[in-house]
Structure 1
Amino acid sequence: MSDALLSLENIRTDIAQYHILKGVSFSVPRGQVTMLLGRNGVGKTTSLRTIMGLWQAKEGTLTFDGADITGAPISARARAGIGFVPEDMGIFGDLSVEENMVLAATNGMPDPARLEWLFSAFPALRTFWKSQAGALSGGQKQMLSIARAMIEDRKLYLIDEPTKGLAPAIISTMVGALRTLKQQGATVLMVEQNFSVAKALGDQAVVMDDGVVVWTGAMAELAESSALQERLMGLSMEAH
C-alpha cells in the first residue's frame, strides 16, 4: 500500500447520546481514491465530518500528512489542505455561481487555468456563471459543490455521496471530472452508494458496519466478489 496521507486510529465520535463511531481505524493512501462503503447509517458521513473537524472525536488519533490533527479546528484542517464536499452540497444559494467560486478560493480569485479546466469538466458552471446558485438544478448544484472543493489543489478531497439522486447523464459528467482529478494524482476519500461509480473510481475500499470498519482491501477485489459484497453489506451491490 502507498504511503498513508491520512490515518484514523481508534476514532470514537458521539452525537448527543448516540455512539456513532465505535473505534474506527483505517488509512487513506496518498495519490489514490479510497471508497468508504457500507449500508446507510453505519457511520460513513460521521467519519468524513470527524476528519474535517465538524464533529470532534471523543477518543482516538487523526494523523494527516504526518501531523496530529485530532484537536485541530476546521480552519486549520482546511489550511492544511483538506477539501470537503458535504452530502448537502454546502453552497450559498443566495450568491451567484461566480461568487460561490470566489469564496472557495484561498486568495479570493480562482486561478484562470484551473477555472478553465473546471469549465471543461462542468460546462454548466460557465453557462450559469452569473446566475443565483439557489436557482440551479440539483445536478448543477452538486457540480458547483464539487467544483468549489476543486478550485484549488488540495492534498485530500473528502466527498460525500456526489452522485446521490442525480440523473445518469449528470453522473457520467461527475465521474468524468473525478476521474480526471484522480489522473492528476489527487488523494480522495469518498462515500458513494452507487457501486458502479465506486468500482469505476476506487483504488481501495473501506467497508463499515455499525460504527466500525469490517473490511479493507482493493476495490477490484470487492467488485469482483458478489459473495464478499453480500457478506459485508448484506446484498450484492452489482444490482445497484
Structure 2
Amino acid sequence: MSDPILRLEGIHTDIAQYHILHGVDLEVPRGAVTMLLGRNGVGKTTTLRTVIGHWQARAGRILFDGAEITGAKTPDRARMGIGYVPEDMGIFSDLTVEENMTLAAATGPLDPARRDRIFEAFPPLRTFWRSPAGTLSGGQKQMLTIARAMAEERRLYLIDEPTKGLAPAIVSTMAGALRDLKRQGASILLVEQNFAVAKALGDYAAVMDDGRIVWAGEMQELATDAGLQERLMGLSMEAQ
C-alpha cells in the first residue's frame, strides 16, 4: 500500500483512567472499503473517535492524506474531508430531515445535485423530507445519519456499525449506498459486526484485539479462511 489516505502509527488513547488503544498501527487504502473487525470492546469505536478527534491520542501519530492531524480539532478534521457516522446516530429528532441535512452542510446550502444523489441512495428520505427526524423508523434514522455525512464532499468516511439491528431489506439499501460512495472515489473505514456485510463490501480488513491491530490484509483472504477467522476472533464467522 504505497499511498494510504489514512495512517495510524503507534496510537495510544486513554478514556478517563482506562488505557483503551495500545499502539494501534493501521493503514486505510485510498478509494477502498476497509473493514475494522473484532469482538465487542476491543477498541474499534475508540479508534474511529480518535481519528475524528473526539478523543485525543496520548501517543503516536495520525496522518491524513500525508499531513499529520494528531493534534487537530474535530471541526478542522471535518473540513479536511473526514466524515464520521457514529453508532448512536446523533440526529436532531425535533428537526425535520431537511433541517438535519442543512445543518450537516456546514459550508453552505445543500447542493441540489448532491441532495438528489442522496435521495437515489435513500428513497425514504425524499418521502419524509419535511417530517421530524424523530418520527422515522430505526432504519430510516440510520439512513439519515449516513446521509448527513454525505451532505458535503468527503474523502474519508468513518462509519460505526451502520447495519446494527436493521432488517435485511434496510441492510441491503445501506450496502448499496456504501458501494455508491466507493464508486464516487471515497475511502471508507467501516466497523461492522455483520460478517456477511463485511465480506460483501470490504476490500481490505483489519482485526483488532485488546486495543491493537492483530491482523491486516485483503478481505477476501479473511473471508475464505475459517481457520484464520477462528484464530483471530475466536469463532468461524462463516457461520454468522
Indicate conservation of the 8 Å contact 1:2/1:30, yes or no: no
SS in 1 for 2:232: helix
Q: CA deviation at 1:109?
A: 1.3
Amino acid at match of 1:79: R
Give the structure 1 partner of residue 36 of structure 2: 36
Q: Which shows bigger deviation, 176-185 or 203-212?
A: 176-185
Query: Is 1:102 aligned to residue 127 of structure 2?
Result: no
Give the structure 1 partner of residue 189 of structure 2: 189
State how 1:1-240 maps to structure 2 within 5 Å.
1-240=1-240
Matches of 1:24 and 1:222, distance apart in 2: 20
SS in 2 for 1:21: strand
Q: CA deviation at 1:108?
A: 3.3
Matches of 2:135 and 2:36, distance apart in 1: 31
SS in 2 for 1:48: helix
Indicate conservation of the 8 Å contact 1:229/1:235, yes or no: yes
Indicate conservation of the 8 Å contact 1:97/1:133, yes or no: yes
For 1:137-158, what per-residue CA distance to the aligned partner results, in whole angstroms no more than 9, with x for missing partners? 1100000000010122201000
Distance change >3 Å, CA 2–CA 115, structure 1 → 2: farther
Indicate conservation of the 8 Å contact 1:4/1:27, yes or no: yes
Which 4+ runs in 1 deviate beyond 4 A? none
Matches of 2:2 and 2:224, distance apart in 1: 22
Structure 2 gaps, min length 5: none
State the TM-score, normalizing by the size of structure 2.
0.98
For 1:182-237, what per-residue CA distance to the aligned partner results, in whole angstroms no more than 9, with x for missing partners? 11221000000001111111111000001001000000000000000000000111
SS in 2 for 1:162: coil
SS in 1 for 2:25: strand
Amino acid at match of 1:220: Q
Matches of 2:108 and 2:88, distance apart in 1: 23
Matches of 2:96 and 2:176, distance apart in 1: 25
Structure 1 gaps, min length 5: none
Matches of 2:108 and 2:94, distance apart in 1: 18
Q: Percent identity?
A: 73
Q: CA deviation at 1:117?
A: 1.0
Indicate conservation of the 8 Å contact 1:33/1:188, yes or no: yes
Amino acid at match of 2:54: L
Q: CA deviation at 1:120?
A: 1.1
SS in 2 for 1:4: coil
State the TM-score, normalizing by the size of structure 1.
0.98
SS in 2 for 1:232: helix
In the comparison of the two structures, how many residue pairs are matched?
Answer: 240
Indicate conservation of the 8 Å contact 1:90/1:145, yes or no: yes
Amino acid at match of 2:200: A
Q: CA deviation at 1:2?
A: 4.9
For 1:88-107, what per-residue CA distance to the aligned partner results, in whole angstroms no more than 9, with x for missing partners? 01111111000000111133
Matches of 2:234 and 2:8, distance apart in 1: 25
